[in-house]
């Protein structure tokens, strides 16, 4: 037995509703349907499906994150008039991914902007897998939505050990989006410092790198780090690991 589809009481299924001055506008039912479709296409992992700007903690013990949350809200408010991206920098668990997901969910729901989420490690793995003859997807098929999405979140940039192939791939992604004037929101655990040793040289020993800690310049190359400064506003996030705090509280 077939069940009849529910018809919207406002538009009668037409997708349009009456407005002031004898105008018609898109019905809320169509806007909701579009938002749901965009949300599905955004590939937000289940772990982060709950993340919203409205439930991002920035008060009390997390007051140091207020500026980052304000920057995220300003980005949503001004997009697409100002489409400069964001580079969210901070230690593990400080809330970078939560904020990034909150931004694109707000863009999806309130403005109908197509967005895409990709974990940096997963993206590189998918590209590498495309070289396998048994995998049907080609490299271009994997990269096309990454190139073309109006807003892309690239999470955990620098999380893969740098090689020439990694650097070339990062360069291809960032330069393509830059040249096409696409907006990119990036999170990283690495400080926004140049790939240089204490003497200012671009080449340094493994011991020197270990002593000072790796930087974003080390992980993606200095040229691409410079490119990010052209593409994004820097938002630094400092604080304790949310997840570690929750784990500690659960044992009290």
Are 150 and 113 spatial neighbours (Cβ–Cβ below 8 Å)? yes
* Number of compact structural domains in the chain: 1
Q: pLDDT at position 241, please?
A: 62
Domain assignment present for residue 186? The answer is: yes
Q: pLDDT at position 16, please?
A: 57
Record the pTM: 0.81
Q: pLDDT at position 10, please?
A: 64
pLDDT along the chain (252 residues), means of 10: 55 61 60 84 96 95 95 97 97 96 96 96 96 86 97 97 95 97 98 69 53 86 96 91 47 38
Domain assignment present for residue 81? The answer is: yes
* DSSP secondary structure of 153-197: EEETTT-SPP-HHHHHHHHHHHHHHHHTT-EEEEEESS-S--S--
CATH number of residue 93's parent domain: 3.40.50.300
Domain assignment present for residue 11? The answer is: no
Strands 24-26 and 16-18 turn out to be: antiparallel
Domain assignment present for residue 127? The answer is: yes
Domain assignment present for residue 10? The answer is: no
Domain assignment present for residue 7? The answer is: no
Q: pLDDT at position 250, please?
A: 37
Domain hosting residue 226, numbered range: 48-250
Triad 158, 159, 163: Cα angle to 5°: 65
Residues in the chain: 252
Domain assignment present for residue 9? The answer is: no
For residues 69 and 86, what is the distance between their CA atoms, to the nearest angstrom? 12
Q: pLDDT at position 1, please?
A: 42
Q: pLDDT at position 34, please?
A: 82
């Amino acid at each position: 037995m077939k069940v009849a589809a529910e018809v919207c009481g406002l538009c009668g299924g037409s997708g349009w509703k009456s407005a002031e001055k004898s105008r018609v506008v898109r019905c809320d039912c169509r806007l909701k349907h579009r938002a749901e479709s965009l949300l599905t296409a955004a590939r937000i992992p289940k772990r982060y499906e709950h993340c919203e700007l409205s439930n991002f903690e920035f008060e009390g013990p997390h007051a140091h994150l207020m500026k980052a949350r304000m920057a995220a809200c300003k980005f949503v408010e001004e997009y697409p008039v100002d489409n400069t991206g964001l580079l969210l920098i901070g230690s593990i668990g400080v809330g970078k991914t939560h904020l990034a997901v909150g931004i694109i969910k707000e863009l999806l729901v309130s403005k109908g902007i197509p967005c895409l989420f990709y974990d940096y490690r997963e993206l590189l793995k998918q590209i590498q897998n495309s070289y396998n003859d048994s995998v049907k997807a080609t490299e271009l098929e994997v990269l096309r939505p990454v190139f073309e999405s109006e807003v892309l979140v690239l999470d955990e940039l620098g999380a893969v050990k740098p090689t020439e192939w990694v650097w070339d791939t990062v360069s291809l992604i960032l330069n393509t989006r830059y040249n096409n004037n696409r907006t990119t929101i990036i999170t990283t655990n690495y400080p926004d410092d140049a790939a240089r040793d204490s003497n200012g040289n671009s080449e340094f020993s493994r011991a020197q790198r270990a002593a000072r800690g790796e930087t974003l310049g080390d992980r993606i190359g200095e040229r691409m780090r410079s490119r990010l400064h052209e593409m994004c506003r820097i938002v630094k996030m400092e604080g304790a690991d949310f997840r570690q705090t929750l784990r500690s509280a659960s044992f009290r």
